[in-house]
Structure 1
Amino acid sequence: MTEATALNAGAAASDSCHALRRNVALAMLFVVGTINFVDRQLLSVLVEPIRAEMDFSDTQFGLLTGLAFALFYAAMGVPVAMVADRWNRVKLIGIACVVWSGFTAACGMVSNFWQLALMRFGVGAGEAGGTAPSLSVIADYYPPAQRPLAIGLFTCNGPFGVFVGATFGAWAAANIGWRNAFIVIGIVGILVAPLLIWLVREPARGAMDTHKPADEALPFSQSLAMFWRRPSLRMVMIGSGLAAFVSYGMLNWIPAFLMRTQKMPLDAMATYFGPAAGITFGIGILGGGWLVSHRAKTSARAYGTIPALATLVLIPTFIAALLVDSWQASLALMLIPMAACTAYVAPALALVQNLTPPRSRATAAAVLMLMFNIVGLGLGPLFAGIVSDALKPAHDVDSLRWALMALMPFAAAAGIAQYRMTRYLEKDFAE
């Protein structure tokens, strides 16, 4: 009896220790991911002060916030993820954080468009070592049933980063200047990276899976082939790419729309938009992950139906937000689409982690994020910028209103792809 009690106590202590380690890991990865998104959002919030000094067009700004970043992010994403599937992921994330933070600080020292574009290339290359390896670490700390919620909590770094970036960026533009804003955020990232490496332990690969994990990482060609062989993975790439096209187009241009078209003051941007964006994006990401974790217990179709329903809600509410005349009414109406536009993120990432082997999860996540970043981040903001410039002679400041409206057909296509995915999910999970 005493021996059994001792064994039970040891098991309980071990479980408690593991729970503490994974919670610390999730918290630190969340902090690093937040810095990642602050770096991205900062440029979107500071667009008007930077434009006033350097005279950018909307197309050039679309390149800076989208394609310039996304091309290098995507180009480095798969090679870095392959390293993560073979090497210490926590150290890799820490090194990447130092790299992107250094280039972020350097954004505050540029004097023209091309220098700023070059720094954004560096930020994108560094941030390629952040999300995909982090998702792989989380998948090895949490069992499959808990992954949608855990990944939902992790990906709340996006909305929290938007909140911090929008609030800090607007305050910084008014008080310390846009250049010092980049420098401060860069220094913060450089200081946090060593703390991550010190506090987070590299988990055993596949420890939370019920099946025996593969001993070696798959070649890239085999990881890519999984997306072709399994219809669910193929459709999640299409649906997520289109959804990212819309959500990044919205995220990168809503601040400029509110300030330029709706005449929202800069101090109101810090007071109202920052918290509103952070809370709504967080509700969308965490809500999507929680709902799928809950509903997928009875039907795997939840990975497709919940994002599709969110897209159905997004379209009419965003159109209404664009058509009103005041920034107050516009921001109030945007609360629903800003939540709905991120509901696809956690389900898509969790689906890929659950349908791929442990030794290829970082690579598989990077393949999905190619769609997020090339189609979504790379082309969404650029598309809106090009449409805005094309319409400017006829519509002046209202051109941005109609450029954002032009994103809605892509939202409809995303919803169709997400719903179509539901017919394949149960079969792919069974296999």
Structure 2
Amino acid sequence: MAVSTADPGLLGKDATQVETPSLPRRIWLLVIAASVGGVSALDRQVLTMLVEPIRAEFSLSDQQLGLLTGLAFAVTYVIAAIPAARLADRWSRKKVVAGALTLWSGMTILCGAAASYWQLFFARVGVGLGEAGGSAPMQALLADSFPRRQRGLAMSVYLVGSSLGVGLGLAFTGWALVEFGWRWAFVFAGVPGLLLAPLIMLTVKERRAARSAGLDGSDRQPPLGQTMKTLWHIRSLPLMMVGTTLMALIGMGLLAWIPAFFARTHGLEPLEVGTKLGAALATGSFIGRLAGGPLAEYLGRWDLRFYLWTPILTGALAVMLVFAALNSTPNMAFTLLGFQTFLTGLFAAPMLYIATTLAPDWARATSAACAMFAINLVGLGAGPWLVGALSDWLRPEFGEESLRMALTFALLVYIPAAICFWLASRTFSDDHAAATQED
């Protein structure tokens, strides 16, 4: 049975008596959150535009590049994400975010100094270690500061920053690569985070909400095993996470390799790919993520199951658009990929809403971290590597077209993802009612 997030026996009698921050403070927190999301996306994705020059300099295979773009980042991310979230639930969310931001930005700069494949690999490991402490605590900060009726919109605004970070990052990296080379592109990408971290410490005020109370109403945080058991028994939550993870396997595999696809299949130059792809992905993702939260809230008034029916419908359309993009002209492919990111972006904010709302207040960051753990371990860790390995395997028969074929086969993962979303929708209404009965 799901544990209610509003049960006074769990949260303490004063848990719900914390004053909501003022509107200016909430708006400023959204600006900061969107900026953190943008810097995170930039530092995470800058490597995807640099795949071809790095491959040429270090004489790498696609499988090695897949490990570099995915697993190097994901392994430390998934190891550190839950401990960082537990620390944020126990201590200070903003301090965890600021420290993590400083670490991953510094490691991004170090990527530019790598003299070998393995030096670059371990620098990316450091980026993953830092980013593990950024996402979940920031989502929990937003959930603490915004009432439930506004959380969908707040998560949408937060995700918009990531959309802009991906789009502007691709365009900027393409320009920096042409003008200064791939090493300086890493350096430029790391600087914004080093400027943002002290701003967080100086201007963000935390809301000391019920999240700091343990199961007995004290300030003692429940053991990790008890927390995980509580989250596991929220029936729709694990299924939602699995479905989202499988969709991330497609999305992150595609994002990691699509610049290389345009270079190999269509012979496009980095500046053109960065500008056009960045514009398409930023526009589609921006609109989709901004609209996703409000749309889910609107449809949820009719039936809460729309929160989980939406990714089934939009996912099917997105898969068809990607297939068409992989088999069309370059300009048409850019347009289709923009529409694809719009469709997949519609579920981003509802996913964060589900992860932070179904969980008890004292486990919000941990719940968000569990979702990001699975997404990054399978989606970011395995997605690029699997596509790269499949591309290497198909290369003897398809040559440079092997990457296009590998991306096409990856689309089949949508089928089990859709099944997970449908199964989760069957119990979501009851789980949501239990979690919000006194919210």
> How many residues align structurally?
413
Match of 2:37 in 1: 33
RMSD: 1.9
1:87 to 86, 91, 95: 91
Q: Which amino acid aligns with 2:190?
A: G
Cα distance between partner residues in 1 of 2:221 and 2:289 = 30
Match of 1:254 in 2: 258
Cα distance between partner residues in 2 of 1:319 and 1:214 = 53
Match of 2:12 in 1: none
* CA positional deviation for 1:165: 1.3
- Is the contact made by 1:45 and 1:165 (CA closer than 8 Å) also made in structure 2? no
Match of 1:96 in 2: 100
Cα distance between partner residues in 2 of 1:336 and 1:397 = 26
Task: String of CA shifts for 1:138-181, please: whole Å, max 9, x gaps.
Answer: 00111112112211210222211111210111000000111111
Cα distance between partner residues in 2 of 1:45 and 1:134 = 27
Cα distance between partner residues in 1 of 2:323 and 2:133 = 36
* CA positional deviation for 1:420: 2.3
Do structure 1's residue 141 and structure 2's residue 145 form an aligned pair? yes
* CA positional deviation for 1:77: 0.4
* CA positional deviation for 1:219: 2.1
* CA positional deviation for 1:106: 0.3
Cα distance between partner residues in 2 of 1:176 and 1:415 = 44
1:308 to 300, 309, 312: 312
Task: String of CA shifts for 1:238-276, please: whole Å, max 9, x gaps.
Answer: 111111111111111111111211222222123311111
- Is the contact made by 2:170 and 2:275 (CA closer than 8 Å) also made in structure 1? no
Match of 2:367 in 1: 364
* CA positional deviation for 1:45: 0.7
Cα distance between partner residues in 1 of 2:298 and 2:210 = 23
1:184 to 178, 181, 188: 188
Do structure 1's residue 53 and structure 2's residue 67 form an aligned pair? no
SS of the residue corresponding to residue 284 of structure 1 reads helix
Q: What pairs with 1:333-344 in structure 2 (closer than 5 Å)?
A: 333-344=336-347
- Is the contact made by 1:205 and 1:213 (CA closer than 8 Å) also made in structure 2? no
* CA positional deviation for 1:350: 0.7
Cα distance between partner residues in 2 of 1:139 and 1:167 = 32
Task: String of CA shifts for 1:264-300, please: whole Å, max 9, x gaps.
Answer: 2222123311111111122232222221122223322
- Is the contact made by 2:231 and 2:359 (CA closer than 8 Å) also made in structure 1? no
* CA positional deviation for 1:423: 0.9
Deviating more after overlay: 362-371 vs 283-292: 283-292
Q: What pairs with 1:14-413 in structure 2 (closer than 5 Å)?
A: 18-206=22-210, 215-324=219-328, 326-413=329-416
SS of the residue corresponding to residue 326 of structure 2 reads helix
SS of the residue corresponding to residue 83 of structure 1 reads helix
Q: Which amino acid aligns with 1:408?
A: L
Query: CA 1:213 to 1:251, structure 2 compared with 1: closer, same or farther past 3 Å?
Result: farther
User: What percentage of residue pairs aligned between the two structures are identical?
Assistant: 37
Deviating more after overlay: 279-288 vs 240-249: 279-288
Match of 2:420 in 1: 417
- Is the contact made by 2:62 and 2:392 (CA closer than 8 Å) also made in structure 1? yes
* CA positional deviation for 1:16: 11
Structure 1 alignment gaps of length 5 or more: 1-14
SS of the residue corresponding to residue 46 of structure 1 reads helix
Cα distance between partner residues in 2 of 1:188 and 1:264 = 29
Structure 2 alignment gaps of length 5 or more: 1-18, 435-439
- TM-score norm. by structure 2 comes to 0.90
Cα distance between partner residues in 2 of 1:367 and 1:16 = 26
Q: Which amino acid aligns with 2:314?
A: A
- Is the contact made by 1:314 and 1:337 (CA closer than 8 Å) also made in structure 2? yes
- Is the contact made by 1:291 and 1:306 (CA closer than 8 Å) also made in structure 2? no
- Is the contact made by 2:312 and 2:421 (CA closer than 8 Å) also made in structure 1? yes
Cα distance between partner residues in 2 of 1:236 and 1:215 = 30
Deviating more after overlay: 109-118 vs 335-344: 335-344
* CA positional deviation for 1:216: 4.1
Cα distance between partner residues in 1 of 2:348 and 2:229 = 22
* CA positional deviation for 1:416: 2.1
Cα distance between partner residues in 1 of 2:325 and 2:376 = 26
Deviating more after overlay: 222-231 vs 369-378: 222-231
Task: String of CA shifts for 1:199-249, please: whole Å, max 9, x gaps.
Answer: 111112249xxxx98754332112211332122112111111111111111
SS of the residue corresponding to residue 253 of structure 2 reads helix
SS of the residue corresponding to residue 201 of structure 1 reads coil
Q: Which amino acid aligns with 1:274?
A: G
Cα distance between partner residues in 1 of 2:210 and 2:297 = 20
